[in-house]
Structure 1
């Protein structure tokens, strides 16, 4: 029979744990909400390595969630709006669940020069039910009711950086922590390496947690269970594609290559071609001969 923990011992353990927790929390750096915006020369167009603010650029993500099959269309409009004295770029997010429109948001961003950081100045939200607008929950704008701009994507991101993305008291207080800059993400739109991974939380919903991944030169490629299925300039016939280089490679037998595949492959014979992206660079002595990608 398993021995039960004596009540007095349990109280001691509980008291000790409660005494330790504040020290553990104190070791966690706070989320930054001051960004020295006075040093920025804001632009309504441009890009940093993980976020694109160029009119016409579009990302489409799809995936299964608890409520059904979700499609998210993110489009950079050829439209600006002045928020808190800053000319911001309008980016729409249109969300469908099982082919039914559930939300349209107009988001306001600006690029800070010279840091290349992208700042978030608010959003206008329309939620839909049966084709009718039924609410605006989550709407906010910097400069109104105590709201201030948040940092959406640093120009030079670093692991463990923690910052508020939205600063709208009692409405939106989303915050992000950068967990990694070296993720490999497999999506229907392709395999992306050196992706940035964030964990998003909010003090308004302490139990809520989301993970997002951003690929260099592309932007958002995964949002929780949603994955990128297409990216392009929505108003151009020329597709957008990441810089790529084709390399013919022959390696001796026994050399292990780590390759990321975007779909399942059944190997039926020796010499069968397999297409993928190299996850770990290949070296000859101390020289990199085939880079990641």
Structure 2
């Protein structure tokens, strides 16, 4: 079943390119660039590709795929670089049901029967392509690395992102974070295992939570089609972990040691609604580039640790 509540709020017609206004042509999967082909295959999810079109306009190339599934036909859009751009149905539903600003989204994809993949291709969180990153500050350092093995959480196969946090050169925490992406391109957070360290010894597990253990549903972590003002709960397992997020900007600019980035997505976070204590900055095609402009991207690796 489609999650109408989330689709109504996430989709933005102005941000969803299609083939209606450009020059389109039928193509085969073999004619599609590797990055876009991988995204299309990841979203088949047991269905059959029934039609594939390539659209060219002033903004570039977009591929529109039609997939026949048991529930009916499903159409979605993919950029030439492999970014999942959303669905045709999302655009129509947004026009019919505009979002209600101020409300925090807390979708229930498991209850609603959503389908998931462990391949994360969201343009602002492309964990399956950008698998290694280092962020550094004055006294902090975080190493983010996607693991080779997936893990089943709450009955869903999830990508595993390991984060090692260092304070003043000493290991402070290792967390394993579990993500899955639904058919519309929304990235959901299924929880995390946490080990806190002191003098090389595990001293606690603060903030750990998992779907199926102390939460019934995953949390929306990155909307498929973000728009300014959109609010959602990125963690919802009180008292272990609870977080409210709001998209503050989509056109930010930020220079970090790894480079200068435009059209930066800015998400502000807080442990209470409207009480923002942190900001995170995401670049398209890269992912997280800064936390509070204090912990900044210094090293980036693509397609696995061997590429860095």
Fold conserved (TM > 0.5)?
Answer: yes
Residue in 1 that maps onto 2:225: 156
The answer as to whether partners of 1:148 and 1:168 remain within 8 angstroms in 2 is: no
Selected match of 1:142 from 193, 211, 226: 211
The structure with the largest alpha-carbon Rg is: 1
Instruction: Map 1:1-293 onto structure 2 (within 5 A).
Output: 29-37=102-110, 38=112, 40-54=114-128, 57-64=131-138, 69-113=139-183, 115-203=184-272, 209-224=277-292, 225-233=294-302, 234-237=304-307
**Partner SS state of residue 79, structure 1:** coil
Do the aligned partners of residues 55 and 92 (structure 1) sit closer, same or farther apart at CA in structure 2, a change above 3 Å counting?
A: farther
State the number of aligned residues. 206
What is the alpha-carbon root mean square deviation over aligned residues? 2.0
Q: CA deviation digits over 1:156-178, x for unaligned, max 9?
A: 11110000011102111112100
Q: CA deviation digits over 1:80-102, x for unaligned, max 9?
A: 11111101111101001111000
The answer as to whether partners of 2:190 and 2:210 remain within 8 angstroms in 1 is: yes
The Cα of 1:28 is off from its aligned counterpart by 6.7
Could you tell me which runs of 5 or more consecutive residues in structure 1 were left unpaired when the two chains were aligned. 1-26, 240-293
Do the aligned partners of residues 176 and 54 (structure 1) sit closer, same or farther apart at CA in structure 2, a change above 3 Å counting?
A: same
The answer as to whether partners of 2:254 and 2:262 remain within 8 angstroms in 1 is: yes
The Cα of 1:36 is off from its aligned counterpart by 4.0
Residue in 2 that maps onto 1:258: none
Q: CA deviation digits over 1:214-270, x for unaligned, max 9?
A: 000000000121010011134233x6xxxxxxxxxxxxxxxxxxxxxxxxxxxxxxx
Could you tell me which runs of 5 or more consecutive residues in structure 2 were left unpaired when the two chains were aligned. 1-99
Q: CA deviation digits over 1:4-50, x for unaligned, max 9?
A: xxxxxxxxxxxxxxxxxxxxxxx971211125453532011131110
TM score, norm. by length of structure 1: 0.66
